[in-house]
């Protein structure tokens, strides 16, 4: 009977753990898929020791588990490559990249796990990777002077700011294929100038083609022209 009781007890523990994991994964909304990527710029005040940028590519996404390739670009121009996986819904800090993706469409008061549990403070807007996005954030004070920003729709990290030993570490999303970049007038001005120049040229050509001779202008009474003059006039007429 004791053996049966132990077996039943073990079975119940496994069942409870499985149900808890499935429930956690069902609540977590995955906002990324295979083929998505994010590129971050890294800046540290008064330091050139850290990488200038790194890129996270999602090679595969199965449920809440992401298999990623990391490309880290060092200040000396060297690129380092690493492949790793992490469970985006994990609550135990599993994986090195915990916190780079949280549940999509999270709101103020929801929990996120950054190696520890934290609550989302609020919602704002910001410009990241060439577009204005709705942003949710966590700001930590006291011993940890860290602020995390995520894109609300996809749950991906857009910025991380940390004050450490008098230095400011900033990791900011520079580009991604998760959303399109919105173009400003400044971005479009070369195309606008080309369109304007083309319009002026066409207008000038049409105007000169239909321009009438000035009244009273003296005309040559000569009825003979050289073949060269005839060819020149014919070319002029075709161009305009």
CATH number of 31-176: 2.50.20
Confidence (pLDDT) at 137: 97
Inform me whether the pLDDT recorded for 106 exceeds 90. Answer: yes
Partnered with residue 132 across adjacent β-strands are 127
CA atoms within 13 A on the CB side of 191: 6
Q: What phi and psi values does residue 15 have, to the nearest 5 degrees?
A: -65, -45
71-75, 200-204, 207-211, 223-227: which range is least confident on average?
223-227
Name the nearest CA neighbour of 137 among 170, 109, 168, 117.
109
- For 180-205, write each residue's pLDDT tens digit: 854 444 444 555 566 666 666 666 66
What are the structural domain ranges in the chain?
Answer: 1-30, 31-176
The whole-number average pLDDT for the span 36-59 is 88
Instruction: State the distance between the two ends of the chain, measured CA to CA, in whole angstroms.
Output: 105
- For 19-34, write each residue's pLDDT tens digit: 334 334 458 999 999 9
The whole-number average pLDDT for the span 213-238 is 41
- Is pTM beyond 0.85? Reply is no
State how far the alpha carbon of 132 is from the alpha carbons of 7, 54, 135, 216, in Å.
Answer: 56, 22, 9, 64
């Amino acid at each position: 009977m004791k053996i049966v009781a132990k077996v039943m007890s073990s079975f119940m523990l496994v069942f409870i753990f499985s149900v808890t994991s499935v429930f956690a994964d069902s609540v977590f909304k995955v906002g990324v898929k295979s083929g998505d990527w994010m590129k971050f710029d890294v800046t540290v005040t008064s330091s050139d020791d850290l990488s200038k940028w790194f890129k996270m590519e999602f090679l595969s996404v199965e449920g809440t588990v992401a298999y990623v390739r990391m490309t880290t670009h060092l200040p000396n121009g060297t690129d380092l490559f690493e492949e790793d996986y992490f469970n985006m819904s994990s609550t135990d800090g599993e994986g090195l990249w915990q916190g780079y993706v949280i549940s999509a469409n999270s709101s103020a008061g929801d929990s996120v796990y950054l190696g520890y549990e934290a609550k989302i403070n609020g919602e704002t807007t910001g410009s990241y990777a060439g577009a204005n996005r709705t942003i949710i954030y966590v700001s930590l004070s006291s011993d940890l002077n860290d602020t995390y920003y995520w894109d609300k729709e996809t749950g991906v990290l857009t910025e991380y700011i940390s004050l450490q030993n008098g230095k400011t570490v900033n990791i900011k999303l520079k580009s991604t294929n998760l959303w399109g970049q919105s173009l400003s007038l400044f971005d479009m001005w070369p195309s606008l100038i080309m369109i304007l120049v083309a319009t002026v040229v066409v207008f000038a050509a049409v105007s000169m083609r239909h321009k009438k001779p000035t009244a009273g202008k003296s005309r040559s009474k000569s009825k003979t022209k050289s073949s060269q003059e005839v060819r020149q006039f014919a070319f002029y007429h075709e161009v305009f």
